[in-house]
Chains A and B, each alone.
Chain A
Amino acid sequence: MKRNTRFATAAAGVVALVAVAGCSSGSGTTAQSSAVPTLTGDCAQYQPYAGHSGSTVTMFGSILSPESDSLNTSWAAFSKCTGIKIQYTGSNTFESDLPVKVNGGNAPNLAIIPQPGLLSQMVQTGTVKKPPADTVANEANWNAAWKGYGSVNGTFYAAPMSANMKSLVWYSPKYFADNGYTVPTTWADMMSLSAKMASKMTGAVKPWCGGIGSGTASGWPATDWLEEAVLGSFGGQVYDDWISHKVTFSSPQIQQAMKIVVDWMQNPAWVNGGYGDVKTIATTTFQNAGLPILKNQCGMLQQASFYEAQWPKGTKVGPDGAVFAFKLPAVNPSIVTPVEGGGEFVTAFASDPATQAVQNYLSSPQWAESRIKVAPGWVSANEKVDQSLYTDPIDKISAKYLADPKATFRFDASDAMPAAVGSGAEWKAMVDWFGSGKSSLDVAKETDAAWPTK
C-alpha cells in the first residue's frame, strides 16, 4: 500500500512539475507582452511591486498559526493590489524539513530561516539565489551586524524579517515595590540585589529561577545565559571570534564567562526559585521556568521577549502589571548596550520577478509597519519603522534596543555556529553542566571536540 502511494506521489510530482513549467513560461510571456499596470487609490503605494499579477510565490517557514495568520493578514493588501499570491506553509520541524525539500529539488520560492547557520548550509548547496537590488538597498535600514548574519562568506543573501530581544530579565513590579527593591541598571547592582534578596528569602523562594528543558532542544536557554555573559564582558569582537571558533570554549575568555554564569545561575543560594536546587534547572521546562514569579517564589528570570506568550492568560504585562521586564545590564560597563537577539531571514530559492517583488516588499519598512498593526508580539529591527506603532510594552522595550543604531547588537551565537555545536554538542553540554554538575572546563572541552573539521 505504502509503496503504491509513493509511486503515485512520484508520478504526481512529475505531472505537477510539468504543470509548474507550463505555468512559469505562461506568466513569463504575459509579463513581456503587457505593460506594467498603474495602480491607483489605496493601491498606489504598491506600484513598485506591480506587473506580476497572477503569479504565486510559495513560502516556507517555522512560524505556525496564529502567528502565521497575522503574516497572511499583513500582506493581504499587497496581494490584492499586485495580484501576487503568497502561499505560506509552516512546519514545526522546519529545520529538518527544509534541507530535505531543497535536496529533493522541491525548494519553496522563499524560506524564512531563523538560524544564520542553516542559511549558510543552504547557500553551500548552491541553491540560494542572490537578492534583488532593492532588497540590498533596504538592508541599510538595519544595524550593520544584521547584514553580516544575512551573508555567507561576505556575500549578502537574505534580509531580516522579524526580530526578538533576548537581553531581558522578567520580574514582578509589584513584588519589587512591596519589598523595596529597585530595577538594577548595572551588573554589579543586579548581583547585590540578588544577594540582598537571597538574605531575606527562605525555603524554596530564591532570587532567580530558570529552566532549560525543551524536548529535543533542551539546553538552549542556558546557551543564551553564556552568550549574554560573553557579549556583556568582552563585546562584539570576542563574540564573533567565538562563533567562528577562533576563540574556543576552553579559551580563557569563555571560561571566564562560564564562571560568571556559575556564580549567577548555578549559585545554590540564588536558584532555582519555586523548583528546588541548581539541578532542577536542567529538568524544568523553559515554558514553566518563570511561573514562580507570579507566586512570589522567584525574583527574576532571564529570558527572551517571546517569553511573554508563556504567562497564563489574563496576566497583565507592563510597568504596572503582574510581570514586566528590564534590559539585562552589561557585565562590563564599558561595553555599549550589548543586545543579544534572534530573528528570521527571508531566503530566496527562486529569482523570478514575482518572488523578487515579494522579497523587496518584505524588506521594506512599509511591510513591517503593516505587520505591527495586525497584532502585538512582533518586532522589527528595521530602524525606519515608526516606533510609536508598537502597543505592547514588551514590544516597545524590545524595539527600542533592537533598532538602536548605537547598540552592540549580536545574533544568538548558538544559532550562528555550525549545527553540530550550536544545536547539538553545546545544548548537551549545557544540560550536563546544570544537571550532572560537570565542571566548566570538561563541558567546554566536550563542546570544542564536536566542532566539525573541514
Chain B
Amino acid sequence: MATAYLLMASSTAGQAATTLLGVIEAVGGFIAILVIVFFVAGRATGRLQKPIAVVICLGPALFLVTLGLIIPAITTINNSLKNQQFLGQLDTQYIGFKNYTYAFTDPTTQQTILRTVLWLLIVPAAAVAVGLLVALLVDRMKYSSIPKTMIFLPTAISFVGAAVIWSYVYNYVTPSQPQTGLLSEIVMKLGWSNPPNWLITAPTNTFLEMVIMIWIQAGFAMVVLGAALKAIPDEVIESARLDGAEGFTLFRTVQIPMIRNTLVVVLTTVMITTLKVFDIVFTINNGNFDTDVLARQMYADMFVTSQVSRGSALAVILFLAVTPLVFYNIRQLRRERETR
C-alpha cells in the first residue's frame, strides 16, 4: 500500500489521485462505522436498548458541538488569560486578567467598546422603527408588494456588497472637481458648498456606517413586523375602533401591545447582528479614522497584529455581551410559540 502511494506521489496527478483515494477511504470508513453502529444498536434489546438509542441519537450532535463550539470556546478563554502574541509561540505564561484590564483601560480599545455600545443603542432601534413605519404604511396599500420588495431587497445583499455600494455614495472629491459621490452631490446642490470628506471625518463616519446597517436590517424588521401586524385579528381592531380608538391611539394602545413579543424578538435579533458587526467597518475604513468596533479589533489582534491573547480577551467580552441577548431572545421565542 505504502509503495503504491510512493509511486503516485511523484507527480501532481499522482498527488490528486492520492488525495482522492484518501477521501474515498475516509468516507468509506465513516459509512462502515455507521453501518456497524446501527447494526449493533438494532440488535440491542432489554435494559440497554434505551441508553444506546440515547447515545446514538445524541452522540453525533454532542460530538460536533464539543468539537466546533465548546473546545474552541475553552481554548479562547484559556488564551485570553495568557500573554500569547502569535500562533505556536512557545514561552507563553498566564498573566491573569491583565488582557481584560488592558481592554478596559487602553484608550483606543475603550473607544472601540464605547463605539460598539453606540452601534448597539442606535442601529436596532432605528432599524425596527423604520421597519415598523414602513410595515404600517404599506399595510393597506394597493400595490404593497412593490415598496416591500424595494425595502426588503437590501436584506439579501451581503454586508461587504452593501458597504461597497455605500462607499460610492459617500465618495469624496475636492469640491472644485466633478463630484462622483451621491451624498456630496446632493448636499452641494442643496447649497452646502464645502462638504466634509465623509468617511474620514469622525464621528460622522460612524453614523454613516450605521446607516448601511439600518438599510440592511430595516427590510427584515419590516417583513416580520408586517406579518405580526397582519396576524392581529380584525375583530380586535374593529372593536377598538368602535370604542373610539383611531390613528396613533389605536397604534399605541392596541397594535403595539398585540405585537410586543415579535417586536422584542426582532429587536434582539438585530441587536445580536449589530454587536457582531464587522464586514461594514472592515470594508469601508478597516476601522481607521475612529470607526473601529469590537469584532474588527478582535480580528486584527488575532490575525493581523499578532496579539492573540488580547484578541481572545475581546472575543470573550463580545461573547459575554451577546449571551444574555441570545438567552432573552430564545425565551421570548418560546413564549411567543406558547401563546399561538
* Cα-based distance from A446 to B289 in the complex (angstroms): 14
Q: Name A residues whose Cβ lies closer than 8 Å to a Cβ of B.
A: 3-4, 7-16, 18-20, 22-23, 26, 96, 99-100, 102-103, 121, 124-127, 203-204, 215-216, 218-219, 275-277, 279-280, 282-283, 418-421, 423-425, 428, 431-432, 435-436, 446, 449-450, 452-454
Cα distance, A37 to B195, chains bound together (Å): 75
Please report the C-alpha to C-alpha distance between residue A69 and residue B135 in the assembled complex, in whole angstroms: 58
Cβ contacts B135-160/A at 8 Å (1 or 0 each): 00000000000000000000000000
Which of these, A124, A421, A425, contacts B90 with CB under 8 Å?
Answer: A124
Taking CB atoms, residues of chain A closer than 8 Å to B85 are 121, 418-420, 452
Contact in complex: A12, B174 (CB < 8 Å): no
Contacts of A423 in B (CB 8 A): 304-305
Question: Which residues does chain B contribute within 8 Å of A218, judged by CB atoms?
Answer: 286, 288
With A8-B23, A22-B2, A418-B306 already in contact, the answer to whether A279 and B90 are too (CB < 8 A) is no
Bound CA–CA A9/B23 (angstroms): 7
At the interface, yes or no: B239 with Cβ under 8 Å from chain A? no
Contact, CB under 8 Å: B6 / A26:
yes
C-alpha gap A216/B106 in the complex (Å): 22
CB distance from A113 to the nearest CB of B (A): 13
Does B121 touch A at the CB level, under 8 Å? no
Q: Do A22 and B290 have beta carbons less than 8 Å apart? A: no
Q: Which residues of B contact A7 (CB under 8 A)?
A: 26, 30
Q: Which of B45-53, B196-204, B213-221 contacts A (4 or more CB under 8 A)?
A: B196-204
Residue of B nearest to A435 (CB): B200
State whether A431 touches B288 (Cβ < 8 A). Answer: yes
- A279–B106 Cα gap in the complex (Å)? 26
Pair A436/B202 contact, Cβ less than 8 Å: yes
Residues of A within 8 A of B307 (CB): 420, 424, 452
Contact indicator per residue, chain B 15-28, by CB within 8 Å of chain A (1) or not (0): 00011011101110
Q: What 1/0 flags go to B65-107 for Cβ under 8 Å of A?
A: 0000000000000000001011111110000000000000011
Can you list 14 A-B pairs, Cβ within 8 angstroms, ordered by A?
A8-B27, A11-B25, A11-B29, A12-B22, A14-B22, A15-B22, A16-B22, A22-B5, A96-B304, A124-B89, A279-B200, A283-B200, A418-B306, A432-B290
The contact of B289 among A96, A276, A431, by CB within 8 Å, is: A431
**Alpha-carbon distance A450/B172, docked complex (angstroms):** 31
The answer to whether A126 touches B90 (Cβ under 8 A) is yes
Which residue of B30, B91, B286 contacts A124 across the interface (Cβ within 8 Å)? Answer: B91
Determine if B108 is an interface residue (Cβ-Cβ < 8 Å).
yes
A204–B177 Cα distance when bound, in Å, is 10
Give the Cβ gap from A109 to chain B, nearest Cβ, in Å.
15
Most chain B beta-carbon neighbours within 10 Å: one of A23, A102, A282, A428: A428
Interface size on B, residues (CB 8 A): 46
Q: Which partner residue on chain B sits nearest A12 by CB separation? A: B22
Q: How far is the CA of A446 from the CA of B108 in the complex (A)?
A: 8
Is B305 touching A19 in the complex (CB atoms < 8 A)?
no
B19 A99 Cβ-Cβ under 8 A: no
Q: How far is the CB of A69 from chain B (nearest CB, A)?
A: 17
Known contacts A12-B19, A280-B174, A449-B107, A127 near B88 by CB under 8 Å: yes
Q: Which residue of A lies closest to B22 (CB)?
A: A12
**CB neighbours of A10 from chain B (8 A):** 26
Residues of B within 8 A of A436 (CB): 200, 202, 289-290
The one of A14, A275, A435 in contact with B288, judged by C-beta atoms closer than 8 angstroms, is: A435
- Tell me if B129 counts as interface (CB < 8 A to partner A): no
Q: Which of B9, B87, B300 contacts A19 (CB 8 A)?
A: B9
Nearest Cβ distance between residue A36 and chain B, in whole angstroms?
22
Closest residue on chain B to residue A276 by CB atoms: B174
> Which B277-293 residues have C-beta < 8 A from chain A?
282, 286-290
B64 at the interface (CB under 8 A from A): yes
- Which residues from A are CB-within-8-Å of B9? 19-20, 23
Give A387 to B339 CA distance when docked, in angstroms: 84
User: Which chain A residues lie closer than 8 Å to B29 at the CB level?
Assistant: 11
Q: Are B304 and A419 in contact (CB under 8 A)?
A: yes
Give every chain B residue within 8 A of A121 (Cβ-Cβ).
85-86, 89, 306
Cβ-defined contact, A419 with B174, below 8 A: no
In the bound complex, do residue A12 and residue B23 qualify as a contact, i.e. CB atoms below 8 Å apart? yes
Q: How far is the CB of B282 from chain A (nearest CB, A)?
A: 8
Q: A21 to chain B: closest CB distance in Å?
A: 9
Near A by CB (< 8 A), chain B positions 288-340 give 288-290, 300, 303-307
Would you call B18 and A16 a contact (CB within 8 A)? yes
Looking across the interface, which residue of chain B has its beta carbon closest to that of A127?
A: B88
Contacts of A449 in B (CB 8 A): 106-108
Tell me the bound Cα distance from A96 to B307 in angstroms: 13
Task: Give the distance in Å from the alpha carbon of A421 to the alpha carbon of B305 in the complex.
Answer: 7
Q: How far is the CA of A19 from the CA of B287 in the complex (A)?
A: 45
Query: What is the CB-to-nearest-CB distance from B289 to chain A, in angstroms, rounded to a whole number?
Result: 6
Within the assembled complex, what's the spacing in Å between the Cα atoms of A96 and B301?
12
Report whether B305 and A419 are in contact in the complex, using a CB–CB cutoff of 8 Å.
yes
* A215 (CB) vs chain B CBs: closest residue: B286
Q: In the complex, what distance in Å separates the CA atom of A46 from the CA atom of B287?
A: 51
Smallest beta-carbon distance B95→chain A, Å: 9
Q: Which of B2, B172, B197 contacts A18 (CB 8 A)?
A: B2
Report the nearest B residue to A11, measured CB to CB. Answer: B26
One of B200, B286, B306 near A216 (C-beta < 8 A) = B286
Q: Is the CB of A103 within 8 A of B87?
A: yes
- Complex CA–CA separation, A12 to B20 (angstroms): 8
Complex Cα spacing A12 to B87, Å: 24
Other A-B pairs beyond A4-B27, A125-B89, A419-B306, 4, CB < 8 Å: A12-B23, A19-B9, A283-B172, A424-B300
Roughly how many angstroms separate A454 CA and B5 CA in the complex, as a whole number? 47
Distance A103 CA – B87 CA, assembled complex (angstroms): 6
Contact present for B197 and A279 (CB under 8 Å): yes
Contact yes or no, A15 B21, CB < 8 A: yes
